[in-house]
Structure 1
């Protein structure tokens, strides 16, 4: 019995669960009781904006179940919860708890219950089972579809056969690096995408080459009878070209899929198939960490991988256990030294106890598909800090750094709005910083997301301006409030006429566009005085304070930042 309808009406085959069109209409009579049951759960998860959004959508189940658009959104968010670490049993428990609460409300205190009420409650129970069964089955179909491609064990068997016949082999490990984008696909598109991409990879190869499904978001390509490094490199180039073109989906939509490719040879780079597979994956990891699309295996990668593996595992645990930290670095008015804001900076100690550079931590987050998990944590942590600052009487703005992937996340503004509402904070308290590299990807989508963030009252800042490749015409079109001048120019401007001209130009440009120029990395009075002479009136840097933990920052603000340093 399938829960997935073959009709255009939606994903759910209601007849399979004994639900007629009249039954679906009658469910609206239980809408108030169902909403009550769902809303009773909301206070318990008030600090989890993602789960709250899912519950809000679920409140409409009795009246929206037959709506294909609602089904698509609900199934997407169901799998989004699983992708964020919620176990299937946890989600099922929620819905059966809702049904039990409705049963208590309808039947609990009555001595006798009419057949109409019993029939209506039976419809509700079947409707919930139909919905959750559909969500589960769509997930299973996606896994079955992917499993239709021979897997890693089959790849190892094939490699052993080739090795036994003394045939030289090339091996490619291909991994998608923007898996977060898949969370927003319709379920039908999502379940077919892996096999669709595998077929497109195969089309770029020779007849004797074979494609296998590796681990999550990975494909393995075995290239028999290669006699030089140039052959696997050429195959990787053909496959890489494929990933520069949008993939057309069954729904009519299209999506860009970005990938990294690692290559190894057997027996050149390993003694056995397992070693060759590991070598190709290490090469892929190296390509990703260097922000390259392709890399060959190098012997030195083995030791690096051991440290990397421990760091990645520790970072994942830190994300799940809310063990990351945000420090605050003051942002001041250059004229009087008063603190007007603070930038929230990520701080995390790795598996060896040493501080990990924030860009390295962010790369690991992006490469492993944890961007949404990190962004959810980041927004909640920023809201909590803003609330604690307000309670301490420190009413300043906070700057938050968004990742490159955030600019392709159409759900980000909604999530931000929910966080602001949950914490009862105005959007004006927050400035979200974007890098030029983030703006160059998916410009139209990014611009729409920026405008939605601005509509919440939040400010936007362009970080590290001058180090990227944005055109001035593009900059003019952006809804920015602030331009941050990269510290490399600030460090060099007193000794380099070119750097001084760059800083002067950025300050003038920002003012002409109605934006605030803010200098980063100000370390001494000479730099401060030069910036004031150029007309720049906002800065951050060691001259005023390094990044501090929240309690330390509050003490600093009360003793120095509130009154000013000049």
Structure 2
């Protein structure tokens, strides 16, 4: 049934967005335009049952938005998408793009725009924002019930109240710089950690200061009635010292935490609560980029963030259009020089800035929740590369990198198996490379997933060994086939006795445990000779070849 007015049980607060019954009725005239815009935007995503259900409900938004039953079903469908791996930011971006598309069609190319049409566009935008706000508030209520801490929307309401009173307010965006290293903790400790740290923060602040939970791994600290800029700086310094102390957990463990803090003033750095919060987060983002623990908002951060945001948008398009590339760097036998394998390396050539550093690509993928989409592309691209080499008569093995998050993904082995069956490629053709940091997470779960990958025939390599949290227990308990000696040791070993000892130790350790040692970053003949003398049998580096496209590799291999 099409709804023309909000029911008393409505979850969406239309009055807060100045939306009346006539406004809601007027949305029905946009039903056809809205449907085509929704379909066009969501067509870029891989279809699945959860997304299809969400699209069907979203298409009905202009006629059903005021119906409480539709609201409940739509909110449940939103959360089902989150549970299937879609990112909150990704879903929000869909809606902003859909509204923008409708607005362009309604207003674009007109010499003049009538008041009725402008009102209709404004009603659509406010209605969508009202619906999205409702979803976020439901999330926040659940978060408060779970953690007992007020969230971001409560912080924004508090900031608005302070601004309306004409008060100068300091705002700190605080995050853990090393939060990824805590995932090895048990669920009880992880769940209690935010509240534990929030209580400790309150003890280092004034009585009138307030602490809220922001986005993942973030706290928002509101400092009312700031007299001078040194006050927020001093508060940040107190928090930094607090974070520098060991944190006792419920299990009896203690962990060390490191913080990054961004600061902004209201109204100097933002006339509204939302813009000030954005400024504080930009300051924190700027501090992270400079490897600093604290930074004030600077207008330059906004420009840098905008550039990164635009780059992320173009990366998303590159993922959809599959214009990312995998290049191959040969892996060679150090004794006779013949090619025994190749490492698949991520490459993206941006049309304006040229080649984008792979670590930056992966940062943006993780930040925006695109890991599953990227893995889908990565596995298909790896299979395609193996098939092209096979067609050219090159049957060597190929390796590619997995992330720490992949080692917690129960679906990864099945997903890989499906690709192997589809492309009719044996698992033995692939070596999956992990960094030591990936092993610091859930050891039991990671080990289980690694054993499932090994059952597919895949080899497992430990990348950059010696640069992280090296532990012999990993080497004897996990199904590893290969140890890769980090290039930093290889490059320095001819001039540094310590680096030479490290390389020698890693090579001996690998051989003693029945693994193959493979050295990275070999650049000259002296390094190759030294590695051979130490017993290292394989390596890769510019001495043999730089990474190249599959087509270039085929020509290089046959020559």
Give the TM-score normalised by structure 1. Answer: 0.63
CA distance in structure 2 between the partners assigned to 1:200 and 1:76 by the alignment: 30
Residue deviations 1:112-131 (CA, integer Å, cap 9, x gap): xxxxxxxxxxxxxxxxxxxx
CA distance in structure 2 between the partners assigned to 1:376 and 1:288 by the alignment: 29
Contact 1:489–1:502 under 8 Å retained in 2:
yes
* Paired position in structure 1 for 2:161: 158
* Paired position in structure 2 for 1:169: 170
The 5 Å alignment of 1:100-499 reads 142=139, 145=142, 150=153, 154=157, 156-161=159-164, 164-165=166-167, 167-172=168-173, 201=198, 205=202, 208-210=208-210, 220-225=220-225, 228=231, 229-234=233-238, 262-266=261-265, 270=269, 272-273=271-272, 276-286=276-286, 288-289=288-289, 295-297=294-296, 299=298, 300-350=300-350, 352-499=352-499
Contact 1:520–1:541 under 8 Å retained in 2:
yes
- Mark the CA change 1:237 to 1:427 in structure 2 (over 3 Å): closer, same or farther: farther
Query: How far did residue 296 of structure 1 move?
Result: 2.7
Residue deviations 1:494-530 (CA, integer Å, cap 9, x gap): 2333222222221111100101011111122222222
Query: How far did residue 438 of structure 1 move?
Result: 1.8
- Mark the CA change 1:276 to 1:534 in structure 2 (over 3 Å): closer, same or farther: same
- Mark the CA change 1:308 to 1:140 in structure 2 (over 3 Å): closer, same or farther: closer
Matched, 1:527 2:531: no
Contact 1:172–1:232 under 8 Å retained in 2:
no
- Mark the CA change 1:84 to 1:458 in structure 2 (over 3 Å): closer, same or farther: farther
The 3-state SS of whatever aligns with 1:323 is coil
CA distance in structure 1 between the partners assigned to 2:429 and 2:143 by the alignment: 45
- Mark the CA change 1:281 to 1:138 in structure 2 (over 3 Å): closer, same or farther: closer
In structure 2, stretches of 5+ residues that fail to align are 1-42, 53-75, 95-133, 145-149
CA distance in structure 2 between the partners assigned to 1:302 and 1:244 by the alignment: 37
The 3-state SS of whatever aligns with 1:522 is coil
Contact 1:398–1:430 under 8 Å retained in 2:
yes
Query: How far did residue 346 of structure 1 move?
Result: 0.7
Contact 1:262–1:282 under 8 Å retained in 2:
no
- Mark the CA change 1:86 to 1:80 in structure 2 (over 3 Å): closer, same or farther: farther
CA distance in structure 1 between the partners assigned to 2:326 and 2:558 by the alignment: 20
- Mark the CA change 1:237 to 1:311 in structure 2 (over 3 Å): closer, same or farther: farther
Contact 2:90–2:368 under 8 Å retained in 1:
no
RMSD (Å) for aligned C-alpha atoms: 4.5
Query: How far did residue 201 of structure 1 move?
Result: 4.6
The 3-state SS of whatever aligns with 1:169 is strand
Residue deviations 1:84-131 (CA, integer Å, cap 9, x gap): 99989x9xxxxxxxxxxxxxxxxxxxxxxxxxxxxxxxxxxxxxxxxx
Give the TM-score normalised by structure 2. Answer: 0.64
CA distance in structure 1 between the partners assigned to 2:49 and 2:386 by the alignment: 21
- Mark the CA change 1:235 to 1:528 in structure 2 (over 3 Å): closer, same or farther: closer
Query: How far did residue 271 of structure 1 move?
Result: 5.8
Contact 2:264–2:297 under 8 Å retained in 1:
no
- Mark the CA change 1:365 to 1:532 in structure 2 (over 3 Å): closer, same or farther: same
* Paired position in structure 2 for 1:80: 84
CA distance in structure 1 between the partners assigned to 2:224 and 2:136 by the alignment: 34
CA distance in structure 1 between the partners assigned to 2:449 and 2:545 by the alignment: 33
CA distance in structure 2 between the partners assigned to 1:558 and 1:371 by the alignment: 35
The 3-state SS of whatever aligns with 2:354 is coil
The 3-state SS of whatever aligns with 1:270 is coil
In structure 1, stretches of 5+ residues that fail to align are 1-44, 56-71, 91-136, 183-188, 248-255, 560-566
Higher mean displacement: 436-445 or 272-281: 272-281
CA distance in structure 2 between the partners assigned to 1:168 and 1:141 by the alignment: 27
- Mark the CA change 1:143 to 1:345 in structure 2 (over 3 Å): closer, same or farther: same
Contact 1:365–1:371 under 8 Å retained in 2:
yes
* Paired position in structure 2 for 1:536: 536
The 3-state SS of whatever aligns with 2:349 is coil
- Mark the CA change 1:476 to 1:297 in structure 2 (over 3 Å): closer, same or farther: farther
Query: How far did residue 266 of structure 1 move?
Result: 1.4
The 3-state SS of whatever aligns with 1:361 is helix
- Mark the CA change 1:405 to 1:494 in structure 2 (over 3 Å): closer, same or farther: same
Residue deviations 1:402-461 (CA, integer Å, cap 9, x gap): 123222323322222222222222111111111112222333332222222222211111
CA distance in structure 1 between the partners assigned to 2:384 and 2:88 by the alignment: 21
- Mark the CA change 1:142 to 1:450 in structure 2 (over 3 Å): closer, same or farther: same
Query: How far did residue 554 of structure 1 move?
Result: 1.2
* Paired position in structure 2 for 1:512: 512
- Mark the CA change 1:482 to 1:215 in structure 2 (over 3 Å): closer, same or farther: closer
Contact 1:146–1:213 under 8 Å retained in 2:
no
Contact 1:177–1:369 under 8 Å retained in 2:
no
